[in-house]
Structure 1
Amino acid sequence: MGRWAEDTAAACRALAPSVALPTADALDAIAARATATPAVVVTGPVSSGKSTLVNALVGRRVAPTGAGECTRLTARYTRGPVDRLDVVLTDGTRRPLPLVDGGRVPASVGDRLGVAPTDVDHLLVTLTSDALDGLTVVDTPGAGSARRPAATVDGPADAEAALVVLPSSARPDEVDRLAGAARRGPPGVVAVLGRADTVGSAADADVVAATLSRRLGPRLGPVTPVVGLLAETATTGALRTPDLQALAALASADRETLATALADPELFLQTALPVDVPARARLLELLDRRGITLAVTLLRERPGAGVGDVCAALLAASGLDEVVARLRAEVRARADLLAAVAAERRVEALAPAELAALRADRPAGRAVPFSGRDAELRADLVEDLRARPFHLDLDLAGATARHRSGALDLPADLGEELELLADPGAALPARLGLGEGELAGHAARRAAAWRGYAAWGTPPARADVAEAVHRGWARIWGELTR
């Protein structure tokens, strides 16, 4: 972790000796968490394709899917030296349990351990996968599940980042329940349209995702369509040589007959085709009809294509590459800032709501009781954390996400300037065509222009963005002229 997470941890540890023991323990835990591996929580409704997408992200077919007991439990996937499953009970004890079926989490753990499902708090899955290097993935029970998310692991509003898997019918109130997004805002939230193949063609999925982006953009930013099943099959090595041979046989079948059969899964299994029914059922499980069609089309064009070629085509069609790119740019690249903000939220949760009344009602000069002093010290820490300058970077990132989603309409030139200023890796003088020493003057002029734009009767949403960009240019000017 970077400067701001370390700064947050140091501030929490510095306060710990001055407060009551329970609060001190909580501050120490917050400090440890601020510098630990950041977590991205994957959340979405039941049957939205969450666990399939988790498998694609970690590169293993390990997360249970369907309606079993374990799909109603929170599971943490983290990098480790060996593949291992530990069942963490509500009393904090851990029970090891073997992975099954070549590395999957079993559908049920209660029977295997002799405990009731309600005694299980969460699952801790350690994997040797490189995809988990520097990031913990938390798979939560689907919204609407009878089982609540575990209290002792990251909930949607507590993790550093969230991957929100949306149905095509998602509403703003559902989004707020899924990711706590109204509290966090777009920075640290990557939203996807799950099971995008169920809404029609790839073009149809793009339209649905764009509609969700415009409607939910203030909370989530852009929405990316993804077909989790294709991504899972492409990244986990599930497609084997016998599957390729079955696809090749289908590619040689009568095109009209195959096209008719692929109109419906049952019809695909019942139609007379040169592949036995068990092999076809496996292809449906791995690829569904869209993936089968894509693979067959590829093999007709390139009869010598191998498993790797088919998987590359599946991956390209799945949308996973864009999701991973967004996680890299919007979560990993901002891990330090997101960890610091998440720690702030945890410190805020320690401060009692009645603090304002305590301050207002206390007579001047009267000694503060220890409990009140404790509360004031915690609140002072919150205020100090909130005042740190990196919050401007998050404001710019949130404005950029809303602009990219279509929820924030800006003139083209101003939108480009916002994107430029929000890019942490931007070499501003070169990208602006400025010579040595010209950036300070340009920053001063642009700060004044954006401040004027914020004050010229601009609608509130745009005015807030203009104010943030003004502060961004003013900060650059200050750094260059101090």
Structure 2
Amino acid sequence: MGRWAQDTAQACRALAPSVGLPIADALDAIAARAVATPAIVVTGPVSSGKSTLVNALVGRRVAPTGAGECTRLTARYVRGPVDRLDVVLADGSRRPLPLAEGGRVPAAVGDRLGVDPADVDHLLVSLTSDALDGLTVVDTPGAGSARRPRGPARGSTDAAESALVVLPPTARPDEIAGFAGAARHGPAGVVAVLGRADTVGSEPDAAGVAEVLSRRLGDRLGPVTPVVGLLAETATTGALRTADLAALRVLAADPGVDGALLDPELFVTAPLSADPATRTRLLELLDRRGIALALALLRERPDAGVGDVCAALLAASGLDRVVERLRVEVRGRADLLAARAAERRVAALADAERAAVRAERRRAPGREAGPDLTRLTDLVEDLRARPLHLDLALVEAATRHRSGALALPDELAGELDLLVAPGPLPARLGVPPTELAGHAARRAAAWRAVATWGTPPAQADVADAVHRGWARVWGELTG
């Protein structure tokens, strides 16, 4: 973790000896979380394709998937030396449980352990997957689930620093509050995707729907990327076997297969060269779009292997764009996101202490607040005064602009992108380092004027952030 997460952890640990034991323990936990492996919570409505996408991201078919609601408990997927499932109960105790056939998380955990599912806080799934190096993935029950965890912290979803929001084509702004973590993290800490993009039509159709969602929800979630989770899962988890490829090769030579692919039931029941059970499995792995893609590839390249088919599926799935966004927007900003999440947890701790003080005053009117609340409040104010909030403001403005939800003049958008882009600023500007301080001072003055004089409020806020960004560059260069 970087300077801001370390700074937050140090501030929490410095205060801990000065407050009561319960608050001190909470501050130590916040400090430890700030510098731990970053976590991303995967959230969205029931049957949006969340768990299929989780499997694609971790490279294993481990999360239960299928029609209807499959994710009944929050599951945390972490890197480990062996594949292992632990059930973490509400009291903090753990019980090991074997993974189901095929290495999947069993659907009925409570039945297997003989415990009430309401007593289970979350599942901890350790996997020997390189995809989990440096990132924890948290899969949650869908919004609207009858089995959603009780309370906002149930299942440890608040321990996530960012969110991967899987959206249906009809998502509305008022639904976002129901997606675990989305409201807390966005838009700088959110990667939003159109799940099951193949259900809305062709690839251009899916791109159009994603663009509409971006404009509709971009203020909260940023840009929306279309993804076909099933193709991504099959391509990345090794689910496609040599026998499946042999069946696809036989079907590619069958003249009746293209007509049968017009309907899933027809594909299974039509008199084709592969048996119905094999065709059913192919539908489960690839759906009709993936089967059509594989058949086209095999007709063009009869010698194509499993790896070639998986590469084509992966390219068609859109997962590469999602992974790139995770690399840039989650891993690349891990320090900022962890520091902001830790600050939010300290503020929640202060709010809880404030509520306890109010309750105590109702019992004993006139009683003064103790020093713990004052020290916590001071810590919150100190954390909120840090320059990292300027970085977050710039990133969030750029994210809203890319989504189409925030219209900006080209010059302002260009300077905003310049300030948030990675790498040394002189190289990006094309300005010699010796001239950078003067350039920063001129740009700061120019954007201060834009922010002050007659600019629409939304654009004025961005211009003010750009002004402060250049002013900070000037200050760092001149001391």
Q: Same fold (TM over 0.5)?
A: yes
Aligned to 2:363: none
SS at match of 2:170: coil
Give the Å deviation of 1:451: 1.2
371-380 or 235-244, which deviates more = 371-380
Q: Distance in 2 between matches of 1:391 and 1:230?
A: 39
1:143 aligns with 2:147: no
Give the Å deviation of 1:339: 0.7
Measured against aligned partners, the alpha-carbon deviations of 1:206-232 in whole angstroms (never above 9, x if no partner) come to 000000001111101100000000000
Is this contact kept in 1: 2:163–2:185, CA < 8 A? no
Aligned to 1:383: 381
When the two chains are superposed, the root-mean-square deviation of aligned CA atoms in Å is: 2.0
Unpaired runs of 5+ residues, structure 1, are 360-367
1:411 aligns with 2:413: no
1:196 aligns with 2:192: no
1:374 aligns with 2:372: yes
Aligned to 2:156: 154
Q: Distance in 2 between matches of 1:441 and 1:179?
A: 46
Give the Å deviation of 1:353: 7.6
Aligned to 1:178: 179
- Aligned amino acid, residue 136 of structure 1: T
66-75 or 102-111, which deviates more = 66-75
Give the Å deviation of 1:147: 1.5
Give the Å deviation of 1:418: 1.1
Alignment of 1:262-301 (within 5 A): 262-301=261-300
Q: TM-score, normalised by structure 1?
A: 0.94
SS at match of 2:92: coil
Give the Å deviation of 1:428: 2.3
Give the Å deviation of 1:269: 0.6
Is this contact kept in 2: 1:191–1:221, CA < 8 A? yes
Alignment of 1:74-473 (within 5 A): 74-149=74-149, 151-155=153-157, 158-254=159-255, 257-352=256-351, 371-423=369-421, 425-473=422-470
SS at match of 2:350: coil
Report sequence identity in percent.
Answer: 76
Q: Distance in 1 between matches of 2:467 and 2:48?
A: 40
Is this contact kept in 1: 2:43–2:163, CA < 8 A? yes
SS at match of 2:243: helix
Is this contact kept in 1: 2:182–2:221, CA < 8 A? yes
Q: Distance in 1 between matches of 2:323 and 2:227?
A: 11
SS at match of 2:315: helix
Give the Å deviation of 1:118: 1.8
Q: Distance in 1 between matches of 2:302 and 2:70?
A: 41
Runs of 4+ in structure 1 over 4 Å off = 67-70, 353-356, 368-371
Measured against aligned partners, the alpha-carbon deviations of 1:400-422 in whole angstroms (never above 9, x if no partner) come to 11111011111223212211111
Is this contact kept in 1: 2:60–2:237, CA < 8 A? yes
SS at match of 1:126: strand
Is this contact kept in 2: 1:68–1:108, CA < 8 A? no
Q: Distance in 1 between matches of 2:409 and 2:33?
A: 41
Change (3 A) 1:31 1:461: same
Measured against aligned partners, the alpha-carbon deviations of 1:378-418 in whole angstroms (never above 9, x if no partner) come to 11000001111111111111111111101111122321221
Q: Distance in 2 between matches of 1:449 and 1:321?
A: 39
Q: Distance in 2 between matches of 1:53 and 1:290?
A: 17
SS at match of 2:118: helix
Is this contact kept in 2: 1:222–1:404, CA < 8 A? yes
Give the Å deviation of 1:354: 9.2
Give the Å deviation of 1:28: 1.1
- Aligned amino acid, residue 170 of structure 1: A
Q: Distance in 1 between matches of 2:53 and 2:212?
A: 22
Aligned to 2:361: none
Give the Å deviation of 1:72: 1.0
Q: Distance in 1 between matches of 2:156 and 2:225?
A: 24
Change (3 A) 1:10 1:354: closer
SS at match of 1:190: strand
Is this contact kept in 1: 2:451–2:460, CA < 8 A? yes
Aligned to 2:476: 479
Q: Distance in 2 between matches of 1:13 and 1:84?
A: 33
441-450 or 279-288, which deviates more = 441-450
SS at match of 1:11: helix
Give the Å deviation of 1:427: 2.8
- Aligned amino acid, residue 298 of structure 2: L
Measured against aligned partners, the alpha-carbon deviations of 1:209-264 in whole angstroms (never above 9, x if no partner) come to 0000011111011000000000000000000111111111111111xx32221111
